[in-house]
A and B are shown apart, each in its own frame.
Chain A
Amino acid sequence: MNEPSRSAPWRPEPDGRLSDDWGRRWPRRRPRWARGPRDSGPIRRRATNRMLGGVAEGLSARTGIDLITMRVLIVLATLISGGAGAAAYVIAWLLIPEAGQDNAIISKALADKRGIALAAGIGSLLIVLLIFASAAGVSWIGGIAWALTITVVGMVLVVRNATPEEQATIRRLAEPLAGLTEGRRSQTVIRFAIAIVLLGTGLGLLVGSGKKASAQVAPVSGAVLLLVAIVLVLGPWWLRIARDLVVERQARARAEERADMAARVHDSVLQTLALIQRRASDPQQVIQLARAQERELRSWLFDSRAPGALDQEGMTFADGVRLIEQEVEAQHGVAVDAVTVGDCELDDDLRALLAAGREATVNAVKWSGADVVSVFAEVEPDEVSLFVRDRGRGFDPDSVPPDRKGVTESIRGRMARRGGSAVIRSTRGEGTEVGLTMPRASGRREPSPA
């Protein structure tokens, strides 16, 4: 609660807000229910200490009535009027702009076609439910029906169109209700639970009405109607949520694909370009490199065989390591000394491990200045590890510029995306070791074929 107003309700707020002046100048003016002008005017909902929309706070600042008193009044009014207080509160929430905002929520809500449709749908569903309920003899429901409907519809509009901060407040206060408007997966459960409760209630009421013997068919047709109404109202909405989820998943897949592609382009095209720059003085070599790269790119683009991809039939992990040894040696003219212990079939995880290992080897060959790079790979029952070590000049792993994609994306990213890990140890002047570990999906060890 607002401390100053709690202890001394009639004193102005210390920060001298506009409405406090009002409260001071007309301290005993009777409380006026919110009918403030839409776009400008003294009454503003307050965000500082609000419980819901800050209407009570705004009113209290506007009229000078103590905040707690105002809240009690609103709650009492709601109880006495059969919910009218709550409805009025929500309407006020819609119509009164928040302090610091130019427009009330309603001006945004009017433009939110989807929100209006949703509100109308939920409202009509509610009305259908209430009609059934009162038909089933729950007479007290009739008393609160319109207020309840207005409250719910208003709340839908408010929740959809409030400012992000306000939405956060609402979500925090009404976590389960937020499930009605948000498409998050965890909240789908809540939504379904609510739907089931609604259904159960409706059906229960209908069955109860059967005892009156006024109509035998009514309960059944009522139930069918109820179901149809729910499906009609919520069906499209559910569809949209499902579609959103699919879209979200596709976006994630696309992002991953892009990262993968960037890594591949880096491994092939960018590496070759770097090599060409280094060997610019040797036209023969440059032509050779360019041709090889062209072939690789073509086969990637037109035969969809990814560069450096190890998808030859029957290729094992040890074969892959051997391939790295041979290819890197041939391409860069630095000795690569590979030792492999154990062997197993390749799967996607191990292909990623090999790709990262290849990248680490190429890095060592290119940057370390060492004559020989050692590669050690071991297949163990529950994991496969690969170490690339050189005795070159070394570097500071933390000071690698972010645009050097080799380490961050091609090695760390690749391993992380597959649940593996990469540890890079490097000392200036002593060399570098890259340790890669990938957990194995299948814990089977096979003797390595010769």
Chain B
Amino acid sequence: MAAALATSFFCGAAPARAQVTSEPSAVVFPDPAKFATGLYTEGEFGGLWFNGPAGNDIGAGFAVGARVGYDFVRFFALQAHLVGSTHQTQGDSAVAGQLLQMYQATVEAKATLRLVQLSFFAEGGLGFARMSSNLLYALGIARYRTGLTAGGGGGVDYHFLSRHFSVGLRGGYYVLTEVHNSRDGMVTTYLRYTF
């Protein structure tokens, strides 16, 4: 018995090692069909500035927004967009340094070109813009606090190797009908959740 144990200890086989017997499988990309259609939401933040007469009196500001939309097919979606931004009056007027917020709500159409994880899109729509106060009216560059807005933009989206999430960068440019000859531009980064 002792001889058998000793023989087993000293003359036992070396540990077995795993051996690759076939080529590794290719990286599995997410199936675009799983996130290219259906309901999605986005949260965004970035900057917004005014062009035209409003740009002389109102400084660039921080913008936060959200979108909810539906991709009907891989390349077309409809979405609702709500964004708020906060600004400070600038320049040499008596009301320099006052705060002003702007809220924009638009309905937009979006066209998307998807290249695996990357996608490029263009979007545009119309809606309403509302100022938090009559500051622009007092400065003589707006008639009403609420007015129509229309515009569009585009961006790029990067999809993680995850079913739901992607991030992106977008820019947009909107006409403000109630602010004399003024527009606003917006650049934001966003996180998208596809249901």
Question: Is the A/B pair a real complex?
Answer: no
